[in-house]
Structure 1
């Protein structure tokens, strides 16, 4: 019987009201929530032109999508500096969320034989889905920028609102792909070290 208020059931897992497994995620921690907030705020601060103290953004300028955005005048040099600084903060926050995530969950299910069947069977599709969402979000602005370079109307990305959405998709894509990858790494550890013996 699934507990309607999402509490633990007999297999030590949590389910939502629809019976969908709520697998452990890095985003459940404080650092993970901080990463999500940074990803959401990324376009707001990236589009500012007031942070004169930031260093050069050579790393982002070496990527094709930002080369196109600069070449077409859709982002200024300062905005690319902002983006690189904020993406660095996002990566640090994501990294910091992964460490406590592993520490919290590494001993939670690994020693269970047999492992919780729902976690073993339902978690991988969730991992693949999260990574797929991240990749799709990330490639939409990349494709749009390439279309502009190939001759599509610059209005696709030129309005400020469109650039805001493009940057939001980039940051959210990174967030979801990173979260799915962290979940995948934990699942792989469980499976290779413990759970494959139960197949």
Structure 2
């Protein structure tokens, strides 16, 4: 009987100590989440560039940043001449350019490696490019358009990897791809919304 009482008290103390520790760890997890959200939120100067409609060309390494056109500050504060209806299209283009730019870098490195070894360009990549060129609708409008260009860009510009470290070449490819992609007309993305 005495043993059961001692065992019960030990279990009770363990439960109480667990309850006391739980709120601390939950608070720490929330703090980390809030920090990561704040780190990825558009900065005030990025929102100002978005308000002016020049965020794509004014933010350094913009492809590494989240789209500032969907910032609550931009959409709720006096936006001036900024067309709020355009924000979704701009963010869609932003994300597509970011994703396709990463693909362009990967493809460019692949083409470089194949040229370096003297092997043929992978047939699958050629097939993908031909399919995209024939039927853009299956590949999601703007994203298909960007992906198609990513393949063509990689095939033409594989020398960007020559004599550079992989990270340096990656940044250069993404920068050049971004410069092309983000000035493509929003009508390419809008046409798919109207369908």
Calculate the TM-score normalised by the size of structure 1: 0.30
Select the structure that is richer in helix.
Answer: 2
Calculate the TM-score normalised by the size of structure 2: 0.30
Determine which structure has more spread, i.e. the larger CA radius of gyration. 2
Bigger RCO (CA 8 Å, 6+ sep): 1
